[in-house]
Each structure stands twice: as structure tokens, then as C-alpha cells.
């Protein structure tokens, strides 16, 4: 084989393999995603087989390698010397692998007419596109801090102080997140309430989450949106708002939580924990879901909020299972002393 062509195949095979190893190790050690790590390992294996189809003699490949004489080893850009976070590392690794596979794809077309059928590099490149996307999106999630207490604000539940005063009281009592949950408001009224809630919470550094409506969350400048299992997917919200919104997902099973983690959700809403008059459910998942989520490698490190029927009297049961955060509604909204109700829940949670 021509020396320059052999060096080109060798360099891009190494470049693709290196990029894939970065992605595989991120999936394995950071995301704890066994299926994704296995897919990336399989791609690396298929890459090796493909390289053998265009340059079958490994000894010849090694003999053609000339690292000291490679004029490209000294070339670099400032962007190559810095990585902002793990997602940027995944992006670089995926880009590196895909670019190298494209070169191998083109070379295999030329070599095919002389010695072998075209290699599998085009198909491999498409597999890497998807696997790389999954790794980067998952790493781009989990940006939410682990809130200890989130208060769900619904105007109909605020019997004593107005909902604005409930929000201010919750902040005073230690809530780190406020979620606006208004199922029956028209879009303009919902947006007006959302903007008002952001104005109340933002000076205190408290996060604001909008239930269901990514469009409203973006329009009012909220921190994020919370999705149910029948709402938009995490991927849909990322397509609309990119990384500008935190995304939480309601999970009533471990399978739901695992999928949300794979999709790159920033936090998991776990429940229903206990019977609730606010949002009755025919079936209760119960506190065991917290235990299962914390025991699973894929979901254990994801920020979470247990939800449904939680108050100062039963939150200790969740705390004993290792629960790190809860979301409450009527226990605070229906209280004459929202700040005091929040303090009692946090004291009982013990964090």
C-alpha cells in the first residue's frame, strides 16, 4: 500500500478509537449507563474490523506509522487546550470520532475497487452520531442543584395569604425552589403569574420552575420546566430551549427514572409518595421508589424531589431512606404560616 495512504488510515483509525474511548468511559464511569457503554464498546470493535478490511496487515500498519515525522502533531488551536465541562469533553470526543470515520469512509471507497468491498464506516459514523448525542445530552443534564424543599404554588390552594404571600413566606422559611402549577389558567394569565413569581423569587436566588409549559418558562425567564410522562419529552424541550431551561421529569417507577436520566433530565420528581387531596392517584408508588432510585447506579446521583402528600409528619420516613429533597403543596399553600410550615418540614427532613 502507498505509504501516505497507509499513514492516513492508521492516523484516522487511532483518532476514531480515541474519541470512542472517551465517550465509552464517560458513559461507563460518569453516567453509569451500561447499555450506552456497551454500544460504544461494540462500535470500537466494529471499527477495528473495518480498519482490517482496508489495511489487513497490522505489522504493515505499524511499520507505516511515523509519529515523529507527522507535520500535524504540532498543530493545535486554543479551543483544543480547554474543556468547560464533561459535556464539552463528550462533544470533542464525538466530533473527533465522526471526523475520522468520514475520512476512513472516503478512503475505503477508493481502496474497495482494488482489494475489498467498502468498509462499514458510513454506518459506524451514524451510530456514533446517536451515541455521542446521548452521552452529551445526558451530561448536559443534572445541572440542577439538589434542592431540599420545593413548594408547588397553586392559587386555589392558597386559602389564607394570597399566593404571592405564600411564595414570599416559603422563601423566608427556606424553600430553595418554587414551582408554579396552574392547570386551568389561560396562557396569558399563566404567563402573567409566572412573571410575577420570577420577580418574587429571583432577588432571593430561589429557582422557579413552571409546570408542563416550556414556552411559558422561556417567556417569563424561569429557571426550568417540569414535565409529566405525557408531556413533551426532555429532547423536545432541549430542541425548543437548548440548555437554557432545567428540565425535571415526573417518575412513578424506576424505569421512568432510568429513562429520564438517560434523556438528560436535570432532576427527577419521584412519586406519588403518600395519599394527596391535591392530586389524588389511584395507585401510590410509595417511599420504596426513593430507595430503588438511590440504589440504582444510573439514577443514584440525579437530583430528586419526592412528591405527593408530604408534610412535616411523614417526611422523616423519606429522610430515613436517604431522600435528599421533597416537593410539597397543600402543606405550605394551605397553611396560615407558610414560612413556619417550611421550617417544620426542613427540620423533619434533617438536612
Q: Supply the residues annotated as catalytic.
A: 181, 250, 279
* Residues with Cβ within 8 Å of residue 308, at least 6 apart in sequence: 271, 272, 273, 274, 275, 276, 279, 281, 284
Q: Which three cell numbers stand for residue 218?
A: 422561556
Cell 425552589, residue located: 177
Q: Which three cell numbers stand for residue 82?
A: 480547554
Would residue 242 be called left, alpha or beta, if left means φ above 0 and alpha means ψ between -120 and 50 degrees? left
CA distances from 108 to 13, 53, 95 (A): 12, 9, 20
Best CA proximity match to 138, nearest among 28, 21, 252: 28
Strand partners, 178: 151, 208
Helices (H), 141-275: 163-172, 187-201, 214-220, 234-241, 254-263
Helix 34-54 to helix 121-140 angle, to the nearest 10 degrees?
Answer: 150
Amino acid at each position: 500500500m502507498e505509504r501516505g495512504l497507509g499513514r492516513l488510515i492508521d492516523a484516522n483509525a487511532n483518532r476514531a478509537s480515541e474519541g470512542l474511548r472517551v465517550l465509552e468511559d464517560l458513559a461507563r464511569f460518569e453516567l453509569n449507563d451500561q447499555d450506552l457503554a456497551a454500544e460504544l464498546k461494540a462500535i470500537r470493535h466494529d471499527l477495528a474490523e473495518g480498519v482490517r478490511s482496508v489495511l489487513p496487515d497490522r505489522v504493515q500498519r505499524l511499520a507505516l506509522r511515523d509519529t515523529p515525522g507527522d507535520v500535524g502533531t504540532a498543530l493545535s488551536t486554543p479551543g483544543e487546550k480547554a474543556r468547560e465541562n464533561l459535556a464539552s469533553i463528550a462533544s470533542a470526543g464525538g466530533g473527533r470520532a465522526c471526523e475520522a470515520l468520514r475520512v476512513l469512509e472516503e478512503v475505503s471507497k477508493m481502496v474497495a475497487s482494488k482489494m475489498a468491498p467498502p468498509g462499514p464506516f458510513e454506518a459506524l459514523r451514524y451510530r456514533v452520531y446517536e451515541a455521542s448525542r446521548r452521552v452529551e445530552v445526558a451530561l448536559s443534564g443534572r445541572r440542577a442543584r439538589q434542592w431540599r424543599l420545593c413548594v408547588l404554588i397553586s392559587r386555589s390552594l392558597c386559602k389564607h395569604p394570597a399566593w404571592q404571600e405564600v411564595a414570599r413566606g416559603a422563601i423566608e422559611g427556606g424553600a430553595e425552589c418554587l414551582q408554579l402549577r396552574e392547570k386551568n389558567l389561560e396562557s396569558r394569565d399563566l404567563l402573567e403569574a409566572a412573571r410575577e413569581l420570577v420577580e418574587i423569587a429571583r432577588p432571593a436566588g430561589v429557582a422557579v420552575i413552571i409546570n408542563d409549559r416550556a414556552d411559558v418558562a422561556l417567556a417569563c425567564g424561569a429557571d426550568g420546566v417540569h414535565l409529566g410522562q405525557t408531556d413533551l419529552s426532555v429532547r423536545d424541550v432541549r430542541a425548543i430551549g437548548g440548555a437554557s431551561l432545567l428540565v425535571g421529569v415526573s417518575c412513578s417507577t424506576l424505569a421512568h427514572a432510568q429513562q429520564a436520566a438517560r434523556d438528560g433530565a436535570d432532576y427527577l420528581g419521584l412519586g406519588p409518595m403518600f395519599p394527596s387531596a391535591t392530586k389524588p392517584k389511584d395507585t401510590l408508588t410509595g417511599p420504596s421508589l426513593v430507595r430503588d432510585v438511590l440504589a440504582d447506579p444510573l439514577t443514584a446521583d440525579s437530583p430528586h424531589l419526592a412528591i405527593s402528600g408530604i408534610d412535616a409528619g411523614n417526611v422523616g420516613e423519606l429522610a430515613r431512606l436517604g431522600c435528599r429533597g421533597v416537593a410539597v403543596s397543600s402543606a405550605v399553600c394551605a397553611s396560615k404560616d407558610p414560612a413556619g410550615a417550611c421550617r417544620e418540614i426542613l427540620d423533619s427532613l434533617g438536612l
